[in-house]
Amino acid sequence: MKYSYKSVLLLSTMALLLMTSCRFSAGPDSGLSEIPARPAAPVDTTGTDATATVDPSGVAYGAVNEPVTVLWSNPGQLRDYDRLILNKPSNPAAWAGGMDTDMRLWLVGKAETHALYGEPVVILERRGDWLRVAATKQRSTLNEYGYPGWVPASHIVIDQTYINELESLPSVIVAKPLTNLYSNKELTDISIEISYQTRLPVLEEQEQVVAVRLPAGNTGYLSLHDVKKAGGLTFSRGEMTAEAKDFLGLRYIWAGTSSYGFDCSGFTMRLYQSQGVSIPRDADEQAREGIMVAKSELLPGDLLFFAAKMGQGQIHHVSMYIGNGMMIHSPGSSASVRIDPIDSGIYREEFWGAKRYVP
């Protein structure tokens, strides 16, 4: 596999540097060493919450059993502060909300991506209390199964029923920035808070409540007001734009793909997932797909890419066009999700091109 990292454009001021960082995949000329991928299974997970289930091809599958888990570049060697996101149960709201800009910058090169509650993973390797996994719903050239990284083994669980039903049953997807998952159908006993785009298999629909299968094999309940049926998704530029605006003011987090913080490409990936469209996890790989669109032909939902060397170098940022010459994006560690003119300042100088993804 190839390790990935985010590039930070070297600008004349630190303020601009903090505003324009984004994730991209290391290419063959990046100077990073290339490490062969390890076989995906079987994996001994004795003594952890994860118990490998191996399909006929020899691949071990699991699922995230925390509201959000961070996939790290390496196991261990993290800050004491990160116990908030590493412990079981984790507290992603406190972890994300308590970080200042310097603490967020510390994550650069150490965090790879985030995976949501119930998100399926392939288990690639075990090292002590850590598992190296690939998030299968986050496409990447870094690993054939999905976006790779290390997670606490206690955050991954396997229940064969859940894995089967995730593929065979209809699903619902959280359509609000955050919603509560309940342990009773009366929706009075909150179990956990879950993020936008969390997807769970449907067991039963009861008036304004939907019963869902949980990763550990038990049952939970969601309000129908907070979810969309995955099978009924139709691509809507207006709906995607409206959902993007729900996150205005949310602080950027390096590697973020959840409602506790997005990086630039994590934001666009989840927005497209909300419309039933799969695009790659990283900005440069997103730019390799889709149809090139001229600025004069932009439609809401088209993605805008920005690159070093006056738009001729490595892609370092992605935003989404929302109409009237404006874009919405998650710019960098010192900033929050915001709306900017597409031709303002550095964005005019670094514009690489725009892409449209047709379902």
Report the first-to-last Cα separation within the chain, whole angstroms: 29
pLDDT at 101: 98
pLDDT at 102: 98
pLDDT at 59: 86
Q: Tens of pLDDT along 261-289?
A: 999 999 999 999 999 999 999 999 999 99
Structure tokens at 119: 């998100």
Backbone angles phi and psi of 320, in degrees to 5: -120, 130
One-letter amino acid for residue 348 of the chain: R
pLDDT at 6: 40
Peptide bond into 39 cis (omega under 30): no
Domains belonging to the chain, first-starting first, are 37-158 (no CATH), 164-232 (2.30.30.40), 237-356 (3.90.1720.10)
pLDDT at 25: 64
pLDDT at 23: 62
| HEC readout, the chain | CECCEEECCCCCCHHHHHHCCEEECCCCCCCCCECCCCCCCCCCCCCCCCCCEECCCCCEEEEECCCEEEEECCCCCCCHHHHHHHCCCCCHHHHHHCCCHHHHHCCCCCEEEEEECCCEEEEEEEECCEEEEEECCCCCCCCCCCEEEEEEHHHEECCHHHHHHHHHCCEEEECCCEEEEECCCCCCCEEEEEECCCEEEEEEEECCEEEEECCCCCEEEEEHHHEEEHHHCCCCHHHHHHHHHCCCCCECCCCCEECCEECHHHHHHHHHHCCCCCCCCCHHHHHHCCEEECHHHCCCCCEEEEEHHHHCCCEEEEEEEEECCEEEECCCCCCECEEEECCCHHHHHCEEEEEECCC
pLDDT at 340: 98
One-letter amino acid for residue 238 of the chain: G
pLDDT in tens, the chain (359 residues): 333 334 333 333 333 343 445 666 643 323 222 222 323 333 444 444 555 555 656 789 999 999 999 999 999 879 999 999 999 999 999 999 999 999 999 999 999 999 999 999 999 999 999 999 999 999 999 999 999 999 999 999 988 889 999 999 999 999 999 999 999 999 999 999 999 999 999 999 988 999 999 999 999 999 999 999 999 899 999 999 999 999 999 999 999 999 999 999 999 999 999 999 999 999 999 999 999 999 999 999 999 999 999 999 999 999 999 999 999 999 999 999 999 999 998 999 999 999 999 87
What CA–CA distance (Å, rounded) separates 54 from 71?
Answer: 22
Burial environment of residue 280 by CB neighbours within 10 A (0 to 12, 13 to 18, 19 or more): buried
Residues annotated as catalytic (active site), given as ranges: 264, 317, 329
Q: Give the global pTM.
A: 0.87
Short-list 306, 318, 223, CA closest to 269: 318
pLDDT at 8: 36
Beta bridge partner(s), residue 192? 181
Short-list 161, 131, 133, CA closest to 48: 131
Using CA of residue 245, residue 246, residue 248, residue 253, what is the dihedral sign? negative
Q: Does residue 178 contact residue 194 with C-beta atoms inside 8 Å?
A: yes
